[in-house]
Structure formats: structure tokens, C-alpha cells
Amino acid sequence: MAGRGAGAGIECWSYAPGVRLPYPVVRLRLYNAALEEYGEIALQVDTGYEGPIMLPRGEYEFFMIGELPRSLWRTYRTLTDTVTMRVARAVVEVAGQQLEVYVESPLYGGGKRLVGRGVLNKLRLLLDGPSSKACILA
């Protein structure tokens, strides 16, 4: 649930319920490389994911207009194997900022909605665990 914090330039969202514990989410508005709006979506904050934004395969298809050549796709090492990610250019809008980013989706498998360090490191993000809120600061 999106909401404004007490100070100017702060945008906060409540954590989403998890199996055992709630987890932080941010809401971002996404556009493909042709600047067609995909809409606003909630993404789980994942500081362990080095990439920018991961989407499930079905959602990634909207961004394929800006897909990079296969030679520029990325590979990540996981606990069990390596994962090759398709990569496409996109634009994200959050808290009044527009950033050029990449969206990724696994070449094989379903994927999930994540925002990783590739985007998080460009934002001032506050994770307020006791209040169960994630906030983007101006």
C-alpha cells in the first residue's frame, strides 16, 4: 500500500506478508525502451540480488522491444547452479525520479518480481523494520 511519509520527498510502502516474516517492497512505475508505460508494480527488495529488476517471463515480454543482444545477457551464480538472464532496457519512475535501468528474466524458469542492488544502490532507501515500512527518501 503506497503512502506519503511525514516529510517531503518521502514515499513509503508497508511490508508484504511472508511465510514467517514480512518482507520489504517498493512500488515502481516501469516503462519499456519505447517509453510505453507498463504500470506501477510492487517489487520485493532483495539486497542479495546483484541485478537491477527481475520479472517473471510473462511480464518481461513487454520489455523485449529493448532487449540486448545475447552476448550482453548476464549470468549469475546461485547456490545450486548458474542462471542466465535475458536483459532489456527500461525506465523506472519512483519518488519523482526517472532512472534508466535494465529488467531481467531467467532464460529458463519462471523468475519473480525483485528489485536488486543494481537499482537500490541508486536510491536512498530506508528499511524501517519495527514499523514494517520501506521508504524512498528524496
Within a domain: 10: no
Within a domain: 98: yes
Within a domain: 94: yes
Domain span at 45: 23-137
What pLDDT does 114 receive? 96
- Asked if 40 and 28 touch (Cβ cutoff 8 Å), the reply is yes
> 5 in helix, strand or coil?
coil
Rounded average pLDDT per 10-residue block, the chain, 138 residues: 50 94 96 97 95 95 96 89 94 91 93 95 94 91
Q: How far apart are CA 112 and CA 1, in angstroms?
A: 19
What pLDDT does 2 receive? 46
Within a domain: 3: no
Within a domain: 6: no
Within a domain: 1: no
Q: Which residues pair with 105 in a beta bridge?
A: 86
Element at 60 (helix H, strand E): helix 57-60
Burial class for 110, CB neighbours closer than 10 Å (0-12, 13-18, 19+): exposed
As for how many domains the chain has, the answer is: 1
Structure pTM? 0.87
What pLDDT does 79 receive? 83
What pLDDT does 9 receive? 57
Within a domain: 74: yes
**For position 121, which CATH number holds?**
2.40.70.10
